[in-house]
Amino acid sequence: MNIRSILLACAVLLGTSYITAEFKPSIVRAAESSTSQDELQQEIIDALNERLSSLTVTYSAPRATLKQNIRDTLNAAVQSDDYMHYTVKTFGYDATIEDDTANITFQFTYWETLAQTNEVKKIVAKTLDQILTRGMNDHQKVKAIHDWIVTRVAYDTRLIAHSAYDGLVNGKTVCQGYAVLTYEMMNQAGIPVKIVEGTSRGIAHTWNLVQLDGKWYHLDTTWDDPVPDVKGRVDYSYYNLTDAQIEKDHRWERSSLYPKAVTSYDQTLSSLAKKDSSKAAFYNKLYEQLGYLYLTDAYTATSLKSLTDKITAAVSKRQKELVIRYTRGATLMSDMKKAFAAQKGLSGVSYTYENYTRSGTNDKLLRITLKY
């Protein structure tokens, strides 16, 4: 039995962290004076945008809140833009405080150089000109971008490459790079997008939220590109999911940073197909590609008996392959053994399964190969 790889989540540093070790800057900016938190935050943002490794500033505030102000402002600056947030590798500061004034030295390291980030933006713009055509709506743009990333980028099983540049130029990156590249491509295409930081099966992971027609959906290009990489293969198990659908194996801190995703995309596609006949073929094909057919009774087995009956029916028609959703995932292996034992006229059988992300927690999508 060949189980679809589940080793895709990133066992890597996500976003940023504070650094406390001695820092040796290679690019620095000399002392500036900031009289408000807004000014201080902008100074830090400017330094990050220039990929400075060190920034020294003087900042004044009531002593009781001075340290907290510095920390809060630094965090706000790093998180002011998702691309920047996940391009900054480490950040921290040292401060000398006298009365209400602090002399602060901020320190930064990055996953990408400024030249590399500029190259990413340039290549993304050129790529979008090629894959997005006039007349495409946002639903078509999201699919085009998703498919391009999944077919062009491979997961870095060495866990060395972390950036969008690594994925775009060198062809391999981890989940952080997938999410940042997806963010940049969606952003340049005019699609509202966010990067979500959390865990998947207990391991640090990042993915995206995209907005379509005012509704938010989870989109995980990493998990739609299973290991080992197969040229041209695209999976849609983690394409435009609700919170309830993706939380089966993804966890994140619910906060104002992440809008809720509550609209089931199958309903969206069905409604769009009825409203827009000019794009109905696209919506209907995507509906099929996303596996929504497996929500229907014809492609669903809810018991050992119905599983056995569907396999028997396929054997009677001498089908070579059967794909169905099985809702008893907890007893899958023993049930499959019993269902196969009831068959006659087969020389061999095999099957693979994966989580079916669009319905119940225990649902599995079965791909059964029948040999005669």
Whichever domain contains 44, its CATH number is 3.40.50.150
- Confidence band for 77, pLDDT divided at 50, 70 and 90: very high
In this structure, what is the dihedral angle of CA atoms 211, 74, 93, 205, given to the nearest 10 degrees?
-20
- Residue-level length of the chain: 372
Q: Is the pLDDT of residue 23 over 90?
A: no
- Confidence band for 32, pLDDT divided at 50, 70 and 90: low
Same domain membership, residue 192 and residue 338: no
Residue 127: what pLDDT?
Answer: 98
Same domain membership, residue 120 and residue 105: no
Same domain membership, residue 311 and residue 217: no
The answer to whether residue 66 sits within a structural domain is: yes
Backbone angles phi, psi at 21, to 5 degrees: -70, 165
Helices (H), the chain: 37-49, 63-78, 82-85, 114-131, 138-152, 164-165, 175-188, 243-246, 265-275, 280-289, 304-316, 332-341
Same domain membership, residue 242 and residue 150: yes
Domain range for 314: 294-371
User: In this structure, are strands 321-326 and 364-371 parallel, antiparallel, or unpaired?
Assistant: antiparallel
Chain centroid to CA 173: 13
The single residue listed with the structure tokens 């809702």 is 327
Q: What is the mean pLDDT of residues 214-231?
A: 90
Per-residue pLDDT tens digits for 92-151: 999 999 999 999 999 999 999 999 999 999 999 999 999 999 999 999 999 999 999 999
- Confidence band for 36, pLDDT divided at 50, 70 and 90: confident
Same domain membership, residue 168 and residue 280: yes
The answer to whether residue 225 sits within a structural domain is: yes
The answer to whether residue 1 sits within a structural domain is: no
Q: What is the mean pLDDT of residues 164-187?
A: 97
Measured distance CA(188)–CA(362) in Å, rounded? 38
Residue 15: what pLDDT?
Answer: 44
Residue finishing a domain among 241, 271, 290: 290
Q: Centre a 10 Å sphere on the Cβ of residue 105 and count the other Cβ atoms it contains.
A: 17
Q: What is the mean pLDDT of residues 15-25?
A: 40
User: In this structure, are strands 88-98 and 250-252 parallel, antiparallel, or unpaired?
Assistant: unpaired
The answer to whether residue 18 sits within a structural domain is: no
Q: Is the pLDDT of residue 56 over 50?
A: yes
Residue finishing a domain among 260, 290, 320: 290
- Confidence band for 233, pLDDT divided at 50, 70 and 90: confident
Does this model's pTM top 0.95? My answer is no
Same domain membership, residue 198 and residue 183: yes
Residue finishing a domain among 247, 262, 290: 290
Same domain membership, residue 215 and residue 142: yes
The answer to whether residue 14 sits within a structural domain is: no
- Confidence band for 260, pLDDT divided at 50, 70 and 90: very high
Angle between helices 138-152 and 175-188 in degrees, nearest 10: 150
State the sign of the Cα–Cα–Cα–Cα dihedral 21, 27, 30, 31: negative
The answer to whether residue 7 sits within a structural domain is: no
The answer to whether residue 15 sits within a structural domain is: no
Same domain membership, residue 271 and residue 324: no
Measured distance CA(163)–CA(175) in Å, rounded? 9
- Spell out a b/e string for 27-56, using b for 16 or more CB atoms within 10 Å of the CB, else e: eebeebebeebeebbebbbebbeebbbbbb
Residue 206: what pLDDT?
Answer: 98
Sheet holding 193-200, edge to edge: 215-219, 203-212, 193-200, 250-252
Same domain membership, residue 127 and residue 247: yes
Same domain membership, residue 118 and residue 217: yes
The answer to whether residue 323 sits within a structural domain is: yes
Residue 232: what pLDDT?
Answer: 75
More confident residue, 112 or 17: 112
Beta pairing partners, 203: 200
Same domain membership, residue 282 and residue 136: yes
**What's the mean pLDDT when you consider all of the chain?**
90
CATH number at residue 270: 3.10.620
Q: Is the pLDDT of residue 5 over 50?
A: no
**Number of domains the chain is built from:** 3
Measured distance CA(158)–CA(121) in Å, rounded? 25
Same domain membership, residue 169 and residue 223: yes
In this predicted structure, which of 4-8, 45-49, 219-223, 284-288 has the lowest mean pLDDT? Answer: 4-8
Residue 10: what pLDDT?
Answer: 53
Per-residue pLDDT tens digits for 271-315: 999 999 999 999 999 999 999 999 999 999 999 999 999 999 999
